[in-house]
Amino acid sequence: MAQNSRKLAIPAATVPRLSQYLRKLQEIQSRGTTTISSRLLADEVGTNPAQIRKDLSYFGEFGIRGVGYDVDRLITELKKCLGLNRSWNVIIIGSGKLGTALALYRGFQRQGFNLIGMFDADPEVVGSDRGAGPVLPIKDLKKFLQEHDVHIAIVTTPSAAAQQVIDLVVDADVPSVLNFAPIRASSEKPVILRQVDLSTELMTLSFYLDK
């Protein structure tokens, strides 16, 4: 089965759980633990052993019955499953508070996401360092994309500018976009487009908080 077809066959809910397993295993590894059972890992991440075994079964057999999982090996395999066995070039478009906070977060680089550029339309912030070196003018974005191999564009612009920016990066063959702008962005061209709507998440929390 082709790689892309194989990935499409994996339930969408499995992928974020893999990242949870990976982060927890890295924490467990830092404690000096070398092996772990599915039950103990399930207790650590707040799920059940059957779910862990099912999620991992989509990618292969990594455990030994009666022994459990070798922590180092499982970390390596999960990184491979998640595409973290290589590095990815990332840009941020929009250097406001959210964009700056993302640029200052060093955890991305530890997982192989290299922030290589940050862009903004405001001339007052162009040239300032918001965590990714000097902020570049948005007018230079198209040329930058022609000269650099960008894998992920993170969009944190105001909603009015987001769709135009996304169209630009998609036209430049950037293969994936993470959109934080509060609009439902779309593209007619093939692209992996993920939406992070913080206001919707907060409203969901409000719904459950309100009694």
Domain boundaries, the chain: 3-81, 88-201
Q: What is the pLDDT of residue 1?
A: 34
- pLDDT tens for 126-179 read 999 888 889 999 999 999 999 999 999 999 999 999 999 999 999 999 999 999
Residue 24 has pLDDT above 60, yes or no: yes
- pLDDT tens for 36-52 read 999 999 999 999 999 99
DSSP structure class, residue 129: B
Q: What is the pLDDT of residue 211?
A: 64
Report the mean per-residue pLDDT for the chain.
Answer: 89
Residue 66 has pLDDT above 80, yes or no: no
Q: Where are the alpha helices (DSSP H) in 9-48?
A: 14-30, 38-45
Residue 193 has pLDDT above 80, yes or no: yes
Q: Where are the alpha helices (DSSP H) in the chain?
A: 3-8, 14-30, 38-45, 49-57, 71-81, 97-104, 107-110, 141-147, 159-171, 198-209
Q: What is the pLDDT of residue 8?
A: 66
Nearest of 109, 24, 110 to residue 71 by alpha carbon: 24
Residue 186 has pLDDT above 50, yes or no: yes
Residues in Cβ contact with 153 at an 8 Å cutoff, skipping those fewer than 6 apart: 90, 91, 92, 93, 165, 166, 169, 174, 176, 177, 178
Q: What is the pLDDT of residue 2?
A: 39
CA 10 to centroid of chain Cα atoms = 17
Average pLDDT value for residue range 107-133: 90
Residue 10 has pLDDT above 90, yes or no: no
Fold of 88-201: Rossmann fold (3.40.50)
Fold of 3-81: Arc Repressor Mutant, subunit A (1.10.10)
DSSP structure class, residue 135: P
Average pLDDT value for residue range 1-29: 81
Q: How far apart are CA 3 and CA 159, in angstroms?
A: 35
Average pLDDT value for residue range 109-118: 90
- Which has the minimum average pLDDT: 72-86, 133-147, 158-172, 190-204? 190-204
pTM of the predicted model, to two decimals? Answer: 0.80
Nearest of 54, 48, 44, 53 to residue 23 by alpha carbon: 44
pLDDT bracket for residue 6 (50, 70, 90): low
Residues in Cβ contact with 157 at an 8 Å cutoff, skipping those fewer than 6 apart: 93, 94, 121, 165, 181
Q: What is the pLDDT of residue 5?
A: 56
CB 47 within 8 A of CB 90: no
Cβ atoms within 10 A of the Cβ of 200, count?
A: 11
Q: What is the pLDDT of residue 19?
A: 93
